[in-house]
Each structure stands twice: as structure tokens, then as C-alpha cells.
Amino acid sequence: MTVQQRIETIRQRIRAALEQAGRKDEVTLVAVGKTHPPEVLLQAYRAGIRHFGENYLQEALAKQHALAHLDITWHFIGPIQANKTRAIASRFHWVHSVDRLKIARRLSEQRPDYLPPLNVCLQVNISGEDSKSGIYPEELPGLVEAVSALPRLKLRGLMAIPAPCEDLQTQREPFRRLRELLEKFADLGLDTLSMGMSADLEAAILEGATVVRVGSALFGPRRP
Ligand SMILES: *Cc1c(COP(=O)(O)O)cnc(C)c1O
């Protein structure tokens, strides 16, 4: 299958899930390009994809350079080291993986004046696994309050990567918990639930995902 055919398959899955959920709104498809070269991303762009997600800064910068002439919205979705915040703050439109105040402060301080505030989501450890990044739900209210006060960030919502599982009903549970967490902050106008990947996007959309981040189902398995 070509990238274009895979994109069409993903779009059909998204449409079917929206219909099943009875939703009239739309879902943003972020194409996750980790390990795949810029030529492959370009094929996705030609098939209409405008949102691209990257996990590793150096890899992302190289692709941004190669694709600089295109109208792309770049999403940073990987773990953030403090010494990478300056580049992330100036090269991306969105950051989905903020889970510490220290990182949020640095992104706000380092967001260049000539750009609009950086869109951010807070990553939540929704399955409670020690190994995964993300803030624990109990600590979320404090982080939401502190991040929404930072002048150069625009807090948009929440992101999570639940533990993988096969069955649709089980997949839905952590996504439902993330939606319920977001609803607690309704008065702040947060509008983004970044959840759902290749294997569980239907479950995420049924629970209200507004952004899905899809890698392997679009570009094939990760390259070594
Ligand atoms: C790799 C990755 C994805 C995409 O995962 P697939 O299972 O390949 O669709 C989404 N979000 C994050 C944070 C990732 O690291």
C-alpha cells in the first residue's frame, strides 16, 4: 500500500468512529514521522496531511529544514529535556508532552516574541505505570493552574498514551478518564484531547479525542 492509500484508510477509520460516536465535529490527524525520512513525509503532505508530529528534536530539525518550503504545523510529542526547550519553543507550533512546571516555564520564557503563544497539552500518566512519562492525575490541577498563567504558552488540553491493550471496551477506559479530567477544567476553555494512535484511535474518538497521533498505520513499521 502507498502512503496515500494508508492515509485514506485512516481517514475512513476516523470518519466511521465519528459517526459511531454521533459526533459532528472533526478530528485532527497528526502524522507521526519518527524514524521516517522527509521524502516519506512529503508523500503524506501531497496526500493532504498538514500536521506532523515528531519525538526527537535533532531528527525533527533535519526534517523541518528539508520541508521548510511547505505549509506544515509541527507538533512535538516526545519527552522533553531541559536543554532542548529553546529549540522546541522556537521551531514548533504545538507541544503535547509537557509534564513538569520547570519545562513549561522554560518554554514560555524561550518562546520568541515574533511568534504567537505556543500551544501546549499536558501529558497525563493515565494508566498509572511508573515507566511512562506524564503527570499523575492527582497533581494535574496544580500544574494546570501554573501553566495557564504562563504568558507565552496557550494551554489547550491534555494528552495521554495509555498502556496498549486489544479490546475496544478496555481501550476506552483510560481515554474516558482523560476526558473526565479535561471536563474539570471546562472554565479554562481547554479544547484539546490528544489521544489515540494507530491501534486505538477508534476507542479514543468514541471518548472524545480531538487529535489523534498516528505513526505506523500511516508510514509502516518504525525504521531501525
Ligand atoms: C510513536 C508515537 C505515536 C504513534 O504511534 P503509532 O502506534 O505508530 O501510531 C503517537 N504518539 C506518540 C507520543 C508517539 O511516540
Q: Does 4 sit in the ligand 1 pocket, CB within 6 Å? A: no
User: Ligand 1 mean position to 195 CA, how many Å?
Assistant: 10
Q: Is the CB of 35 under 6 A from ligand 1?
A: no
State how far Cα 61 lies from the chain centre. Answer: 18
Cα 152 to Cα 112: distance, rounded to the nearest angstrom: 9
Q: Any idea which of 20-29, 64-73, 129-138, 156-165 has the lowest mean pLDDT? A: 129-138
Q: pTM here?
A: 0.97
Ligand 1 centroid vs 216 CA: distance in angstroms? 8
What's at 48, amino acid-wise? G
Does the pLDDT value for residue 130 go beyond 70?
no
From CA 195, how far away is CA 224, in angstroms rounded?
A: 25
- The atom number, within ligand 1, closest to the CA of 198 reads 9
Provide the pLDDT for residue 27: 98
Q: What is the mean pLDDT of residues 170-193?
A: 96
Say how many Å lie between the CA of residue 197 and the centre of ligand 1.
6
Separation CA 156–CA 138 (nearest Å):
19
Helical packing angle, 57-66 and 38-46, nearest 10° = 60
The mean of the pLDDT values for the chain is 96
pLDDT digits 0-9 by tens, 54-65: 999 999 999 999
The CATH number given to 3-219 is: 3.20.20.10
Do residues 205 and 178 touch, judged by C-beta distance below 8 A?
no
Place of cell 476506552: 172
CA 223 – ligand 1 centroid, Å: 13
Strand partners, 65: none
User: What are the residue boundaries of the structural domains of the chain, listed by start?
Assistant: 3-219
Cell matching residue 10: 485512516
| Distance, CA of 118 to CA of 94 (rounded, Å) | 6
Residue 159 Cβ < 6 Å to ligand 1: no
Grid coordinates in use for 98? 509537557
- Could you tell me if the CB of 14 is within 6 A of ligand 1? no
Instruction: Find the mean pLDDT for residues 170-199.
Output: 97
| Residue indicated by cell numbers 523541518 | 64
AA letter at 101: L
Distance CA 92, CA 95 (A): 7
